[in-house]
Amino acid sequence: MDYISKYNHWLNSANIDDETKNELIALKDNDKEIKERFFCEIEFGTAGMRGVLGAGLNRMNKYMVRRATEGYAKYILDCGDEAANRGVVIAHDNRRFSVEFSRETAAVLAANGIRSYIFDSLRPTPELSFAVRELGAFGGVMITASHNPAEYNGYKLYDERGCQLIPSMTDKVIKYVAAIDDPLAVRTLDFNDAKSFITILDSSIDEKYYAAVESISLDPDIKKDIKVVYSPQHGTGNVPVREVLSRLGYNVIPVLEQCTPDTEFSNTKNPNPEVKEAYELALEYAKRNDADIVITTDPDCDRLGVAVKQGSEYILMTGNQSAAVVLDYILMQRTKLGTMPENPVMFNTVVTSDLGDRVAESYGVSVEKTLTGFKFIGDKIYRHQLKGDKNFVFGYEESYGCLAADFVRDKDAVQASLMLCECAAYYKELGMTLYDALNSLYKKHGYYVDSVDSFTFKGLDGAKKITSLVEGLRNAPPKQIDSIAVVKIEDYKSKEMMDQGFPSSNVLRFIFDDTSWVAVRPSGTEPKCKFYFCIRGKTSEEAKAKLAKFKEVFEKDC
């Protein structure tokens, strides 16, 4: 069917509710919008689904959630009765329709005879990962669009290890989902009729998760003479982050206007810790209270951002910078305490700054790289545990996500909040800030300037533009920038990289003879093309000057 035929099928279906029908009727004279919503289906890919809310095949709505869940149910049933009986843990964040989508998920699973455990209110993504393993479930579903704007929602799948599904698993689910011709005809039950298959989770899981997070503290008796301003950006971090930090004695000043679980994110300009607008209100609190640090978590509380008081100003640290400082603190303390395991390993991604690699290596910790996506880090943790050959000590991504202890198999901003506060307290006793600690690492390992630029290209034309950008660099790569030569190009769609154990992915990485590198990849969940820069210099000024020249070359067509 063409997009108009698909639109009419939805419009005239007896299975459509009145609210969706009215939304579709309102589109009848808007051919461009109908095409956007029906020319393709919202992609169920390696990161699940994420998209703008609304009626249509290319939007997030209950019908597309039902379809995804039906495909996941078929995958579970294909794994046997035990998988269905072990069931699925379902959690959701504060977004529009998150509650409804979590109930729709449970109802479709129940219609397939699959048990589920569902939280009674919003919970963070890392607690979902924790609960899957704690309950011995077969998998998990997290309803969230992470750090995206209010008009988005999403759907992420987890396996029995608490990891997001890796490609070998997701490929099977995708085939089941793709075989469902009509999202409007998926079998489901009324939520109340499905309750014999559904267990509502109580606070006992929360308490076990909090206790696990508290246990990662390396110095519980450290002097907690720091003031911490915290914003959950209206999301799921409000209760767990404040609870854990309070129990351990930290002075946390909440940004009260951003503590309510608001679907519209009314009191924040942007809920993404990666952008400076997310910190505006928190910084006002910090200045009024003379706070040492500002921390903020994204809506599903897997990412953590920080701003540090340096003199009279507050400096925002990147995810690469804050993770490197925390990594150094953890390895330093574990070395002092004699708790560094044999054959320690740290994981990060191919688009993460090399500063953390140098830190790890200085403590005798090996480094392993993965593609973007914490599922690959979680998978590596599991596989090394099976082999018994290497022991996990830290994992992180440049996108403000890290993991200190593996009772969670995804990035965990509750853990990160605790470790960052402990790190700040440690350095304050020494008369230093987190930013001072970062500069110490630069002096020891070289000055690294990291930057991520994201260019948005929406719709059909946007998709073509993204393809053109990446293919242009693949087919006609730069050979040098000024006198700095490209010495290696890693194409993660190539057999060479797949032979090294990387799944095929549309990522390019250009490595230069001064050890700087640039990576380019289309986002897997948004209509964006991302450019990652890791530039090394003898001084900060030299690295920044190089960065400007590198951007001129790589981003000239954006």
For the annotated catalytic residues, the residue numbers are 146
Residue burial 75-92, b: 16+ Cβ < 10 Å; e: rest: bbeeeeeebbebbbbbbb
Phi, psi (degrees; rounded to nearest 5) at 270 = -160, 125
DSSP class per residue in 539-550: SHHHHHHHHHHH
Are 414 and 244 a contacting pair, CB within 8 Å? yes
Which residue type is seen at 178? A
Return d(Cα 240, Cα 422) in angstroms, integer: 16
Three-class SS of residue 176?
helix
Q: Which two tokens stand for residue 34?
A: 């109908």
Query: Rounded to 5 degrees, what angle do the CA atoms 434, 437, 438 make?
Result: 90
Our measurement of the distance from residue 147's CA atom to the centroid of its chain's CA atoms, rounded to an integer in Å, reads 8
**Pairing between β-strand 528-537 and β-strand 447-456 as defined by DSSP bridges:** antiparallel
Which residue type is seen at 10? W
Q: Which two tokens stand for residue 400?
A: 């403000």
Return d(Cα 495, Cα 476) in angstroms, integer: 19
For residue 449, the cross-strand partners are 535
Which residue type is seen at 211? A
Query: Rounded to 5 degrees, what angle do the CA atoms 193, 198, 201 make?
Result: 135
